[in-house]
Chain A
């Protein structure tokens, strides 16, 4: 079973920041938080990951709470092409990276 809890769906207006929450209250000290997204029926796409510090890349920002029990993925200026299912995953980097996908959040960007 997935170790994360995400809202099943969210809406956001185009051009606004999309903030996607994720709860991972049972995260272990050596586990990272990963975010992937899946656009329509394509293969999932890596977005960002972090351990305890906030992270930013060209796609998004990841804010992890100090107790690491929750995080937020931020898409700063959402576009219609950001409409997708977003998966929050926790896992350790030990041997193969066996990702456990939950149901994710279906994010719809509205014009």
Chain B
């Protein structure tokens, strides 16, 4: 299995509070991604990174920001969490061949 960890694995927070989710990889892969998955839906891309300090928006980026200061870490921040951001968040990585994405175990976020 690819070396991807996500932290925290579970989090409960209140509306209006900031939340940061961390994705850490040990594969030295160039590309990193953040997805969210809501019940009955497939995954939707939030943001992605194609290198240190290089990021771009995905399909559902409103309300989220990201940062990548090191190859191994990709942070997803909810500046002011809302109940609509209750979801399961998955991080993924891919190498320069970009043929395969490896996914982390996910973070379950509940915004009350």
Contact = CB atoms under 8 A, between A and B. Distances in A.
Nearest to A46: B100
A45 B50 contact: no
A103 B41 contact: yes
Interface of B: 31, 33, 35, 40-45, 48-50, 56, 58-59, 88, 90, 92, 94, 97-106
Judged by DSSP, the binding face of A is: loop
A97 B94 contact: yes
Interface residues of A, number: 22
Contact of A101 (B43, B49, B105): B43
A56 B43 CA distance: 26
Given A96-B98, A97-B31, A104-B42, A44 B48 contact: no
Residue among A36, A43, A95 with most chain B CB within 10 A? A43
